[in-house]
Amino acid sequence: AQSVTQLGSHVSVSEGALVLLRCNYSSSVPPYLFWYVQYPNQGLQLLLKYTSAATLVKGINGFEAEFKKSETSFHLTKPSAHMSDAAEYFCAVTEPNGGATNKLIFGTGTLLAVQP
Amino acid sequence: DAGVTQSPTHLIKTRGQHVTLRCSPISGHKSVSWYQQVLGQGPQFIFQYYEKEERGRGNFPDRFSARQFPNYSSELNVNALLLGDSALYLCASTPAGGTGELFFGEGSRLTVL
């Protein structure tokens, strides 16, 4: 069964510093991978997705992620953190199955704090 | 365009009661999924419906049920509520032919006392 591991439940960075949130998946078949962001008391917003095209994926708000099959990783980065980036970030995976189902398996989330 | 809308946004129930949560997908989206997010955890898949038929079910007891209507809106029902059912219930819709991405609503926060 698919699973997603997010290393670090809490990450704290200074404003302007690099943001690196880690995600590893378990799958023998290259999956579709997603990063979602959740602000307090809100639903989830899609940041970016990997669907077997370019391995470096650019998303909204300056975030990007790189799919590395050899490492089964899909880490999220942003060169310079902003106070507004403080939120919880979820990595998710699904298997391409011709659209039969869209079941996403989510990681446990990483809470990002940005210090002034 | 309106996003995914859910109602109610907050509700409080007592153990043993029943709850119905409602969801309207983005216009044109025919698939609706439900997820449960317990505090401090990632969302867990409950159901997916497409064209009024159940396409997938997660590891949840039979107390959880759902349905989709001809206008593609959906209801999630939970019977015999337990304290552990307290969570944020998220509805998401998906466009046909998409690449698996889900568009989420703001959620319904259920508290069971």
| A112: confidence class by pLDDT, cuts 50, 70, 90 | very high
The per-residue pLDDT for range B2-52, each reduced to its tens digit, is 799 999 999 999 999 999 999 999 998 999 999 999 988 999 999 999 988
The strand ranges marked E within A8-99 are 10-14, 19-21, 24-26, 32-38, 44-50, 56-58, 64-68, 73-78, 87-94
**What is the residue type of A53?**
A
**B98 in contact with chain A, both atoms CB, cutoff 8 A:** yes
- If you ran DSSP here, which 8-state letter would residue A29 be given? S
**What is the residue type of B37?**
Q
The per-residue pLDDT for range A28-84, each reduced to its tens digit, is 676 789 999 999 888 899 999 988 778 899 999 999 999 998 899 999 999 999 999
Closest CA to B96 of B47, B55, B45, B46: B55
Beta pairing class for B10-13 and B108-112: parallel
> Chain A residues with CB inside 8 Å of B30's CB?
none
**A111 in contact with chain B, both atoms CB, cutoff 8 A:** no
**B41 in contact with chain A, both atoms CB, cutoff 8 A:** yes
Q: What is the mean pLDDT of chain A?
A: 90
Helix (H) or strand (E) holding B56: strand B53-57
A4 in Cβ contact with A107 (< 8 Å): yes
Closest CA to B30 of B74, B62, B76: B74
Helix (H, G, I), strand (E, B) or coil at A60: helix
